[in-house]
Amino acid sequence: MDSSDKQRSSRLALPEGTLPVGIGLLVAGVTAYLFLKVAKVALGSDQAVQPIASLWIATFALAPGFFLPLEQELARTLAHRRALGQGGKPVVARVRTLGIGLAVLVTVAALAASPLIVSGYFDGDWILLIALIMAFAAYAPAHLSRGIASGNGRFNAYAIVMGADGAVRIILCAALAILGVKTVGLYGFAVAVSPLPGVLWVKAKGALRTEPGPPASWAEVTPNLGWLLLGSVFAAALVNAGPLAATLLAKDDQKDLVTQFTYGVLLARIPLFLFQAVQAALLPRLSRLAARNEIAEFRAGFAKLMKLVLVVGLVGTAGAFLLGPFVIQRFYNAKLPRDTMAMLALGSAFYMVALAIAQAVIALRGHALVALGWVVAAATFVLVTWLSSHELFRRVELGLVASSFAALCTFAVALRSRLRSGQVPSGASVMDAISNMPLET
């Protein structure tokens, strides 16, 4: 094979882990759409499904927000030690302590606010609050397991943890439906326990094993944790803000509409799932370019990523307007107008572009600027949803579009500033950027 053939082969080769991670994402995405479909068939109506949908949305607003930064920092630190030939067991112990602390802190806060949460969000159902707390706690070992797997290059284990979560959830839900169970709380517990079987499986297979190594200081595992945590909490809240706000703002006779709105949000997220698949293929290459300090090539690769993101966003918005009402009618037997579907898809597209730019800013060591951008976006959502309209769907749609656009603009300004200042990526910052994906299913 001559040198040109080798170069062509290198360009065509998929980065390490792309295939298993892509399969895990596919399973997680497909099961996300099936879950509410099965729950609706089992419980019989959109109004009956609404508490389950609310629990599910709340879980994925909380768990990735708090635990994804731990996964990121664990993966980054383990990968660094792996490159140095050092064991990572002390690192895992440090991050595990942080995970337990966060889980306890959020659980105590949820219990303290439980009367408000139960009455305002779960329509008085205390069982669903218990399921929410259990689900949040269960995602701590799931994210830590993913961090261990990613940091050690065990991408099959990573994919199993991610895919098994969705698969177990849908299997449990289908089993309850077959048995004719109508108790909402049991479906809530299906959500709560679904992350654990995948973790137990990969642990039993030895995929979470780490070797002894030098002691780990807090500085080694938490250099950017505060900013990552702040940004992640607000980013995860924003991607789930539509159904959360609709649930809180809906009147008693609008509960079935909230569930239908959630269906629409899920369909509007399809481009985001595609975006994550694109990232899996392109971002590892950007990481290698950054590590070699090939800044011109890094910019060219990022420009390619942005073009793909814009195409996916445009196609997704047009598809939601043209086909969204038909798809949601056929799959969920629900009705949403074209303008609602288009607005949801537009908000999702803006969010996708904002996320891509945010990752570039993180790669250029702008962790604090990204955290600020997500805070600005969250504040924009609250203000626009509050002031823009009295119509339930319209005010939330406008809030989603405005907040995602605010994030996009903030990150664009931050990226321009970082590039002008001559900032260059580091291996650690690029790895933070690669794993900065707050969308969970």
The tens digit of pLDDT for each residue in 375-404 reads: 999 999 999 999 987 888 889 999 999 999
Give the pLDDT mean for 306-332: 85
- State the pLDDT at residue 11: 44
The single residue listed with the structure tokens 């056929």 is: 330
Provide the pLDDT for residue 251.
81
Computed over every residue of the chain, the mean pLDDT equals 83
Give the whole-angstrom CA distance, residue 131 versus residue 153: 33
Output 58 or 1, whichever has higher pLDDT.
58
Better-scored residue on pLDDT, 94 or 49:
94
Burial bucket for residue 236 (CB in 10 Å: 0-12, 13-18, 19+): buried
Give CA separation, 325 vs 266, 338, 341, 342, in Å.
13, 6, 7, 10
Does residue 253 register a pLDDT over 80? no
pLDDT for residue 380: 96
- Chain CA centroid to CA 379, Å: 20
Which residues lie closer than 8 Å to 375 by C-beta, 6 or more apart?
230, 231, 234
| Burial class of 46 by CB neighbour count within 10 A (0 to 12, 13 to 18, 19+) | buried
Closest CA to 271 of 240, 310, 245: 310
Question: According to the model, what pLDDT value does residue 94 have?
Answer: 93
The two most distant CA atoms of the chain are separated, in Å, by 70
Quick one: tokens of 178?
């077959």
pLDDT of the residue at 136: 94
pLDDT for 7 beyond 60: no
Residue 66's pLDDT band (cuts 50, 70, 90) = very high
pLDDT at 9 over 90: no
Contacts of 258 by beta carbon, 8 Å cutoff, 6+ apart? 50, 53, 54, 243, 246, 247, 250
Q: Which is higher by pLDDT, 387 or 76?
A: 387
- Say which residue the tokens 């509410």 belong to: 36
So what's the pLDDT on residue 36?
82
At 205-229, the pLDDT tens digits run 999 999 999 998 888 888 788 888 8
Q: What is the pLDDT of residue 10?
A: 42
Q: Cα separation of 419 and 364, whole Å?
A: 8
CA dist 266 and 258 (Å) reads 12
Does residue 63 have a pLDDT over 50? yes
Q: What is the dihedral of CA 141, 144, 150, 152, to 10 degrees?
A: -100
CA distance 383 to 322: 30
Give 28 or 432, the one with higher predicted confidence: 28
Calculate mean pLDDT across residues 127-148: 94
Q: What pLDDT is attached to residue 284?
A: 53
The predicted pLDDT at position 292 comes to 65
The one-letter amino acid at 362: I
Model confidence at 277, pLDDT cuts 50, 70, 90, reads low
pLDDT category of residue 432 using cuts at 50, 70 and 90: low
Over residues 398-424, the mean pLDDT reads: 89
Mean pLDDT for 10-16 is 46
Residues 6+ apart with CB under 8 A from 347: 242, 268, 397, 400, 401, 403, 404
Q: How much is the pLDDT for 289? A: 63
Q: What is the pLDDT of residue 220?
A: 83
Q: Please tell me the predicted confidence (pLDDT) of residue 327.
A: 87
Confidence band for 30, pLDDT divided at 50, 70 and 90: confident
Contact 243, 54 (CB under 8 A): yes
- Cα→Cα distances 209→23, 54, 138, 203, 285, Å: 23, 36, 20, 8, 27
Q: What is the pTM of this model?
A: 0.82
